[in-house]
Structure formats: structure tokens, C-alpha cells
Amino acid sequence: MFQLRSIVSLDLPELQPYRTMRRQMEHRAQGIFVAEGEKVVRRLLESRFGVVSLLLPEKWLHDLERLLATRPEVIQVYVAEKALLETMTGFSMYQGLLAVGRIPPQPSLDDILAQASRPLLLAAVDGLSSAENLGSVVRNCAAFGVHALVVGESSTSPFLRRAVRSSMGTIFQVPIMETDRLVDTLSTLKEKKIRLVAAHPHDEQQTLARANLALDCCIVLGSEGYGLSESILTLCDEKVIIPMASAVDSLNVGAAAAVFLYEANRQRGRM
């Protein structure tokens, strides 16, 4: 259900998250995130994530009214002229449609492992500073049936606005575990006989076609510029490279994730 309110100013205290979209770490500390664009907001409303409010031009209200009516919580819906909404930085690029959602309690590693089907396919990221790249990894995880994504302490939050946008709302579909000690989390997976496969474009190592991704495994992806940290790389059972032309030494982490996850699905007979 929802409560409708027409506004002529963005000064209401309740609209503070929309006015401070650039201060995303403040949102993270409050346990909220901003979703932008029709597809992302629609997927948020279709998900089990909590929704606080929407801010939109009137033209979007009719399209989303059915979804809003089915929500269990009371959502505040603020309607404004698009000219007013466009005074917010970058807003006009995303169809004039925004929402504030609640970050859910993250699953525990035990919950993830207990609920996932076998063979397990997990992914982990180390040192990803780009929210857009992390959002792309999330989107690929959803596309290729990853059971959960583990985000290390050296990576940006997957719930930053740009990450949610780049995921195209698929972040509402993929279980995500943020850990303060990626080394410890990966060590626990290793103790449980889940193979750690490093996507590592440097030095000589196993090529992707020869790696065994058909059994329980976690594909570990590193930062855009430096790859995996030494402590994480040492922990991994295998270093795997994507063969490519000699003039190119690496792929964007989102592209690399797609290649690895596709190959894992192919080996498991899903492609």
C-alpha cells in the first residue's frame, strides 16, 4: 500500500536521502540505498527488500500503482514536476524515477551453504573500488546462477547507488555477504572443501578451458588495476587465466566474471 503526496519543494526532511545522493556512505550507515530508473525501481518493488519511499513525476504513478498496492508496508510516494526533480544532480538521466530501499540483514555463510543446491557456485571480490564494476559483477552473478556473492572489506559497498544502478536491479536477486575479513571467509570455504579459483591474469597458470569448475567452487575476482591481494592469492587453490591476444593483458572485472561464470555453467551442462 502507499500514501500519495504532491510536493513543490525538495526541502521536506523525509526527502533527505534524495538530496544527498552523492553522500552514499551516509546512506550505507543508515541501512538504506537509492534506486534509480524505471527497471531498477520496478525490480525493487517486486522484491522482498523493504521500500521506504518513491519520488517520481506523475506519469510514472499509473505504471507502478499496481505494484505499490501489493506491497506489505506503507510506502510514501512523493509526486513532483520533472523540472523540480531535475534540479537534483544527474537525475534527468534516469527517467525521473527514484526510490529509497532498506538494506536487508545479510545472510550468514552457514545459511548460504545450507540453502544452496549442489554443486555450489560462489563468487568473491577483493579490492573492487568501482561501484559500477561491482554492480556489473552482481548482474553477471544473477545471470549465471551464482548462489551468493562474497564482498571483501577492501571493496566498495554493493548497495551504493551507482552499484545498484549498474546491477540493473539484479542485486535484489543475489544473496550478498559483506565480510570484514575476506581471508577468514575464504578459509572457511576451503575448510568445507569448496575450491577457491583465482581469476588471475598475471604470470603463467592454468587456462580457463582446462580448469575444473564443475564441482563446488568459489571464483575469486580481484581489483581493476592490481588483481588479487597477495594474501587472497596465496589462499586460492588454483590460479586461472583467460587466454587473450598478446596486446591485451586483462579484461574489465565485469567481463572477466561473465567469462568465468559462463564457463562454469557450460561445464555443469547449463549452457
Q: Which domains does the chain have, with CATH numbers?
A: 2-102 (3.30.1330.30), 109-267 (3.40.1280.10)
pLDDT per position as a tens digit, 165-217:
999 999 999 999 999 999 999 999 999 999 999 998 766 678 999 999 999 99
Number of C-beta neighbours around residue 249 at 10 A: 9
Predicted local confidence at residue 89, as pLDDT? 55
Predicted local confidence at residue 73, as pLDDT? 97
pLDDT at 271 over 60: yes
Predicted local confidence at residue 2, as pLDDT? 96
Question: Average pLDDT in the 140-154 region?
Answer: 98
Task: Please report which confidence band the pLDDT of residue 76 belongs to, taking 50, 70 and 90 as the band edges.
Answer: very high
pLDDT per position as a tens digit, 87-117:
775 555 456 799 999 999 999 999 999 999 9
Integer Cα distance of 151 and 227 in angstroms? 15
Predicted local confidence at residue 203, as pLDDT? 63
Query: Taking all residues of the chain, what is their mean pLDDT, rounded to a whole number?
Result: 92
Integer Cα distance of 218 and 187 in angstroms? 11
Predicted local confidence at residue 131, as pLDDT? 95
pLDDT per position as a tens digit, 58-68:
999 999 999 99
Predicted local confidence at residue 90, as pLDDT? 54
- What global pTM score does this model have? 0.94
Number of C-beta neighbours around residue 108 at 10 A: 10
Question: Average pLDDT in the 31-55 region?
Answer: 96
What are the two backbone dihedrals, phi and then psi, of residue 109, each rounded to the nearest 5 degrees?
-60, -40
Question: Average pLDDT in the 258-271 region?
Answer: 94
Q: Which helix (H) or strand (E) holds 234?
A: helix 230-235
Integer Cα distance of 207 and 210 in angstroms? 6
